[in-house]
Structure 1
Amino acid sequence: MNRDSFKVDGGSFRDRGGFVFKYKNDIYRQINHSAKDDFDFLISSGLCRYLQENKMLVEHEEIELGGGGYKTIKPKKIDFISYPYEWSFSQIKDAALLTLEIQQIALEHGMSLKDASAYNIQFQAGRPIFIDTLSFEKIKENSPWVAYRQFCQHFLAPLLLISGVDIRLSSLMSSYIDGIPLDMASSILPFSKKIKPSVFIHIYLHAKSQKAFSQKKISSQRKFSLTSQKAILDSLKTLILKTQLKKDKTEWGEYYTFTNYKEESFKEKKDLVSSFIDQTSPKRVLDLGANDGTFSRLSSEKGIFTVSSDIDLVAVEKNYLNLKEKKEKNILPLFLDLFNPNPSIGWGNEERKSFLERANFDLIISLALIHHLSITNHLPFSKIADLFSRKSRFLIIEFVPIGDSNADKLVQNRGDDLSWYNEDNFIKEFSKHYTVVKKAKINNTKRTLYLMKSNE
């Protein structure tokens, strides 16, 4: 294998111990000679086996590709790469707790995490899993945890801001790729939250010490025992376990409680969607505007991997908590503002890919969504059809006409001409990209459900 035959991942240039690359549609990680001792100790210490057996660290196999370096490993494939700013509060919390647990276990095996980036965590089979095999190094005696600051910026600060100020502050993580600056978090947190002892230490004093020592050389004579490290980990864990999301009610978080469907119509819609899914035989499904994932589970419960996305963080949180309670494995709840999807970020806009760049599915489900996109956000049918057709082969879409009570609510405060928003025009524009395979009126409603196949 020569260098020109594989592509290095855009977010894999910071670690001199190795890099992730794609070769013939598979993902690999090269272990450089500089990481030989740490990698070998990860294996010989039993830490790698323990973490993998307990589903904390992604499994891998060693592969001979002849591409140079010390070794090449092939990690088990992750169904969908997601990022912290797409997660709900409890997803971030579970990712944080996993990182701390791994660090505690690593210390018992004579190793430590050299970085604690939230991007080292993915969600697979309904639970968080650590994916960076090269993040482990041998313990440096009497040294502090080098990833402490990064952990606080990537996990602790976001959790405190989301739970203590506003759930929407999770979006800050997309602006600060190396975590929310601690001085910023300290300035945003209310005084009543900031003066709590553990918050005061890990956020306020931590931020002050960062500023104080940023231009000073720290003495290497300072000792930091293993016991002290464990105490910090215990303190962080206790603080994170105490963080709780406010019980905010939102329009979408309670959507199915106040739906304008009669019970029999709602059941009919579920039966129709389920039958349409069966006709497409998808392997990967994207449900847009999924709310709490009720309809996403029509595919996930068939064993089909399903990304269940919504713009409402309370709905995404509810979806994830349902997943945990039922121990579901084929559904991934994510935050997605479809009108403004997450862009590519980082160096050269290549470190973290945009949502649309990652979104390649066999089937898109779009229920009770088009009136929000077209009426509220002024999107023409042509734009919606074009995007959907580029991201999946099949589409299940519900047309909600003016005259439906939910659509009428959106029209009330609009003074412009909406005569173009009708089912004939909808079919005309979507037919430029799709062929209608099947359509069905939902009884006792004005809505129509369509199954479409891309023309490409």
Structure 2
Amino acid sequence: MSMAERAPRSPGDPAPLPEPASFRDPSGFVFRREGIVYRQVNDSYREDYELLQGSGLHAELVQAGQLIPHEEVEPGLAAAPGAYKVLRPRQLPFVSYPYEWSFSQLQDAALLTLDVQDKALARGLSLKDASAYNVQLVDGRPMLIDTLSFEKYEEGRPWVAYRQFCQHFLAPLALMSHTDVRLGQLLRLYIDGIPLDLASRLLPGRTRFSFALGMHVHAHARSQLKYADKPVEAARPSTAQFSKHAFRALVASLRNAILKQQWTTPHTEWADYYEANNNYGAKGLDEKGKALEQLLEQVRPGTVWDLGANTGVFSRVASKSGARVVAWDIDPNAVEFNYRRVRDDKDPSVLPLQLDLTNPSPGLGWANAERGSLAERGPVDLVMALGLIHHLAISNNVPLDRVAGFLATLGHHLVLEFVPKEDSQVVKLLATRKDVFPTYHRAGFEAAFAPYFTTLRALDIPGTRRTLFLMKRLPQER
């Protein structure tokens, strides 16, 4: 009988809420009590957990910032029978998903996974999972968050997570590098990674002559198809020659394959917006930043979502006010540029992510609950929508009242930049289409937002035709 079973929680304790994404691993699961995240370690994982701790691997990885730290807490907090330990990990400020990451974010997560596997082998353990969902971007760098991913290394046994690593990391990176960066969005469709046979067909024929991709994607895909209907033992490759040396060689080969995938960011529509547009100029940009600082000072948010963040110019204005900022943008080039700056600056307060606001991340996985939708991961203290509303209302024909209703689900406060039709950027948008937006003006904007927000302040941006609005969300009837 485990300690948790000997010390059941009292009737007055808050009921645990299991995380919808944490049910597949028999070793344990994640749950919440009063908003705090815990991880239950089941008794079946006792031996591997003790090996992880006793080997020194856990301490090594935590010290290196590669594994999320935790503390062991009262076993009576367990959410279900059969608990061996209950852990309280470091609480993550935000959970993102691989289909929201830039090329370099996914590449860095892959390299982290391989580095952790190498260190595990040196201490007699191995990763039994190599899922991209076991990694989160924390303080500007990837970090493994699944403490129960480790198991005792068995000499001669192939890496059980090899296929998963290739599907979650190598296949999407290869497609993004050699075919089209937008194919990273296939991770949103295939929750357990991009099938290797599909990746093999989508990759250019020349990649078959690459040693790394030829072996780990193309040949791997053929092997999967060959053994798809065979019994497990028949499908399992011979273990006679798979020594620890061979295991290390496999990891080194995969690392080389990951590093060889490169994406040179091309010019995209809005990547050089701040540098190239003639509407703002340096003075107007500076005035906008000063106006934003005033509004942030009034609210003092702890968490901010910057929608349409581009390369993060104003995300950093918000972060300097003390907020943790998630900087969302549709442009993969802008997100990549933003992340590289975060990485180079070792900036822990800005997290760049990719998002199409007209088709935001939905609930995915079993019962549409394993991966949270955009709205389910909010609301945050403040949403910034700067230089965005004209793209939603005019480029994408979203009525202003629908924009207001959606933004009201995401944050308690809103800083929105209204861009009128006289603005050069709106003139550009309307140059090639009929103006069918009779209510797109300041009065129409204020009327559309009034049922959802109360306006606390409005600041005209000197040198421009634009206005920054600070709004507070109104209570909504259910």
Aligned CA distance change for structure 1 residues 275 and 205 (closer, same or farther; 3 Å): same
Distance in structure 1 (CA, Å) of the matches to 2:114 and 2:237 = 25
> Where do residues 366-385 of structure 1 align in structure 2 (5 Å cutoff)?
366-385=385-404
Aligned CA distance change for structure 1 residues 221 and 169 (closer, same or farther; 3 Å): closer
Number of the residue aligned with 2:192: 178
Identity over aligned pairs, percent: 45
- Across the aligned residues of Structure 1 and Structure 2, the Cα RMSD in angstroms comes to 1.4
Q: 1:416: how far off?
A: 5.0
**Which letter does structure 1 place at the counterpart of 2:171?**
A
Distance in structure 1 (CA, Å) of the matches to 2:226 and 2:408 = 54
**Which letter does structure 1 place at the counterpart of 2:47?**
D
**Helix, strand or coil: the match of 1:70?**
strand
TM-score, normalised with respect to structure 1: 0.98
Distance in structure 1 (CA, Å) of the matches to 2:74 and 2:243 = 40
Aligned CA distance change for structure 1 residues 436 and 212 (closer, same or farther; 3 Å): same
> Runs (4+) of structure 1 moved beyond 4 Å?
none
Q: 1:4: how far off?
A: 8.2
Structure 1 residue corresponding to 2:251, chosen from 206, 215, 233: 233
**Helix, strand or coil: the match of 1:95?**
helix
Unmatched segments (≥5 aa) in structure 2 = 1-8
- How many residues of Structure 1 are paired with residues of Structure 2 in the alignment? 456
Structure 1 residue corresponding to 2:54, chosen from 21, 44, 51: 44
Contact kept, 8 Å, 2:416 with 2:468, in 1: the verdict is yes
> Where do residues 428-439 of structure 1 align in structure 2 (5 Å cutoff)?
428-439=447-458
Contact kept, 8 Å, 1:440 with 1:449, in 2: the verdict is yes
Number of the residue aligned with 2:71: 61
Distance in structure 2 (CA, Å) of the matches to 1:398 and 1:82 = 26
Q: 1:221: how far off?
A: 5.8
Number of the residue aligned with 2:276: 258
Aligned CA distance change for structure 1 residues 301 and 215 (closer, same or farther; 3 Å): same
Contact kept, 8 Å, 2:207 with 2:213, in 1: the verdict is yes
**Helix, strand or coil: the match of 1:295?**
helix
Q: 1:414: how far off?
A: 2.6
**Which letter does structure 2 place at the counterpart of 1:48?**
H
Distance in structure 2 (CA, Å) of the matches to 1:59 and 1:205 = 38
Distance in structure 2 (CA, Å) of the matches to 1:454 and 1:5 = 30
Q: Deviations over 1:251-294 (max 9, x none)?
A: 11111121221221110001111121111010100000000000
Q: 1:412: how far off?
A: 2.1
> Where do residues 39-438 of structure 1 align in structure 2 (5 Å cutoff)?
39-66=49-76, 67=78, 68=81, 69-216=83-230, 217-218=233-234, 222-223=239-240, 224-259=242-277, 260-438=279-457
Number of the residue aligned with 2:43: 33
Q: Deviations over 1:125-183 (max 9, x none)?
A: 11100000000000012101100000000000000000111010011001000000011
Distance in structure 2 (CA, Å) of the matches to 1:377 and 1:266 = 25
Aligned CA distance change for structure 1 residues 202 and 275 (closer, same or farther; 3 Å): same
Distance in structure 1 (CA, Å) of the matches to 2:37 and 2:75 = 12
Contact kept, 8 Å, 1:52 with 1:58, in 2: the verdict is yes
TM-score, normalised with respect to structure 2: 0.93
Q: Deviations over 1:211-267 (max 9, x none)?
A: 112233336863211101100111111121121113310011111121221221110
Number of the residue aligned with 1:455: 474
Contact kept, 8 Å, 2:308 with 2:330, in 1: the verdict is yes
Q: 1:448: how far off?
A: 1.0
Distance in structure 2 (CA, Å) of the matches to 1:209 and 1:262 = 57
Q: 1:379: how far off?
A: 1.2
**Which letter does structure 2 place at the counterpart of 1:400?**
V
